[in-house]
């Protein structure tokens, strides 16, 4: 179905999502992120195409290597950790991306700011609630 979207529509759709998304391909190259102007991790365009290891601090490389190996080999299909500080709680999840035959294509990373989600929920607590039957 994606072939029915223009590149402009697809980019706008991805940027409209309330999460940050990153895609790293099967060769560990950074290929995509949404919301480039507001990314919590910076998001300089010169980083695209780089080996993902060049985008991380040296002290985080052992964890990154283990995670990539687990996702590539199928030992895990997902991984996560939390980032806390400066008043925010951000869940950082990683999902193995595989084709229909199970071949590893890369990793999808998404970041969800739980602090912002909780603030939104609090501001909407008096809104109408629709319950499924």
Count other C-beta atoms under 10 Å from residue 107's C-beta: 22
pTM of the full predicted structure?
0.80
Separation in Å, CA 86 to CA 6, 83, 115: 38, 10, 11
Q: How far apart are the first and last CA of the chain?
A: 30
CATH class, 17-32+47-123 region: alpha beta
Q: Give tens-digit pLDDT for 45-57.
A: 778 999 999 988 8
Q: Give tens-digit pLDDT for 85-119.
A: 777 888 899 999 999 999 999 999 999 888 766 77
Compute the average pLDDT of residues 5-26: 93
Residue boundaries of the structural domains of the chain: 17-32+47-123
State yes or no: pLDDT of 121 exceeds 90. Answer: no
Q: Give tens-digit pLDDT for 30-79.
A: 999 997 565 455 556 778 999 999 988 899 999 999 999 999 999 999 99
Mean pLDDT (the chain, rounded): 87
Full strand arrangement of the beta sheet holding 88-98: 30-33, 20-25, 104-113, 88-98, 78-85
Compute the average pLDDT of residues 19-24: 93
pLDDT band of residue 129 (cuts 50, 70, 90) is confident
Strands annotated E in the chain: 20-25, 30-33, 78-85, 88-98, 104-113
Express as a percent the part of the chain with pLDDT over 90. Answer: 56
Q: Quick check: helix, strand or coil at residue 33?
A: strand
């Amino acid at each position: 179905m994606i072939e029915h979207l223009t590149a402009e529509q697809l980019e706008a759709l991805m940027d409209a999502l309330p999460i940050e998304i990153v895609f790293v391909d099967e060769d560990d190259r950074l290929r995509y992120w949404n919301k480039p102007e507001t990314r919590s991790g910076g998001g300089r365009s010169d980083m695209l195409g780089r080996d993902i290891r060049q985008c991380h601090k040296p002290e985080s490389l052992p964890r990154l290597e283990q995670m990539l190996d687990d996702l590539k080999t199928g030992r895990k299909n997902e991984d996560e950790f939390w980032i806390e500080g400066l008043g925010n709680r951000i869940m950082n999840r990683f999902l193995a991306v595989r084709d229909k035959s199970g071949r590893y294509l890369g990793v999808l990373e998404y970041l969800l700011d739980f602090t912002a989600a909780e603030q939104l929920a609090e501001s909407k607590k008096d809104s109408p609630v629709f319950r499924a039957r």
